[in-house]
Structure 1
Amino acid sequence: MDAREIISVLDEKGEVSLETWKPLSVKKNRDGTVDVLYKNLHVGRDDDPVFLWIYANVLEDEWDVRILERITFQKEDLAWILRYVPKRGEGL
C-alpha cells in the first residue's frame, strides 16, 4: 500500500477525517507499521498548529490499516517532551 492508499483507508474507515486533518507525511517502517502526521485544518493557528501523529499497522493482504497509537499535540508539547528525553548515556 502506498502513502495515498493508507491515508484513504483511514479516511474511509472514519478513523481520520480529511475534512478535519490534512496529511503532511507518511513514513513506512520495516516492520509493517507506518507513522502518519496530520495537521488540523480548524483548530490552532498558522504559527501554532495542532498535529495528529498516528502509529498504525498496515495489513497489505487484508487491505487494511489498524491504528495502534494516536497522539494530538502542538509544537510547545514537542519542546516540553524533548527537554525531558535523556540524551544518550544520560539517566535520571
Structure 2
Amino acid sequence: MDIREILQKLHEKGEVSRETWKPLSVKKNKDGTVDVLYKNRLIGTEEDPVFLWIYANVVEDEEFDVKVLERITFKKEDIKWILRYAQP
C-alpha cells in the first residue's frame, strides 16, 4: 500500500478533491487503516486554517480499495477546545 495510491483512490472515488484539499500527513496504522490529514486550499487562512481528517480502511484483496470510515472537518480552535477538556 503506497501513500500516493491511497490519496489517488480517495480522489478518484470523489471522497476528496485535490483542487480543494492539500494532503499534509498520512499515518498508516497496524490494523490496515490510515489517518489522512488535509488542509483546505480555498477557505481559511494561514493563521486560521480549515482541516479535514479522514480515517479509512485500506482493502488489498483482489482489487485495491480505500473505504472511508470517518471524516471530520475542523479548525485549529476546535482542537484547542477538545484538548482543554480531554486532558486529565
TM over 0.5: yes
Structure 1 residues without counterparts, runs of 5 or longer: 88-92
Q: Distance in 2 between matches of 1:82 and 1:35?
A: 19
Structure 2: gaps of 5 or more residues: none
Once the two structures are TM-superposed, the CA of residue 86 in structure 1 deviates from its matched residue by 3.6
Q: Give the Cα–Cα distance (whole angstroms) in 2 for the partners of residues 64 and 84 of structure 1.
A: 36
- Residues 27-49 of structure 1 deviation map (CA, whole Å, 9 limit, x = unaligned): 00000000000000001011111
Is residue 8 of structure 2 the alignment partner of residue 4 of structure 1?
Answer: no
Q: In the alignment, is residue 18 of structure 1 matched against residue 18 of structure 2?
A: yes
Ranges of 4+ aligned residues in structure 1 off by more than 3 Å: none
The count of aligned residue pairs is 87
Whichever of the two has the greater Rg, that structure is 1
What amino acid sits opposite 1:49 in the alignment? Answer: P
Of all paired residues, the percent bearing the same amino acid is 74
Measured on the aligned residues, the alpha-carbon RMSD in Å equals: 0.7
The match for 2:35 is 35
1:47-83, Cα deviation, whole Å (9 max, x unpaired): 1110000000000122100000000001000000001
Q: For residue 34 of structure 1, what is the amino acid of its counterpart?
A: V
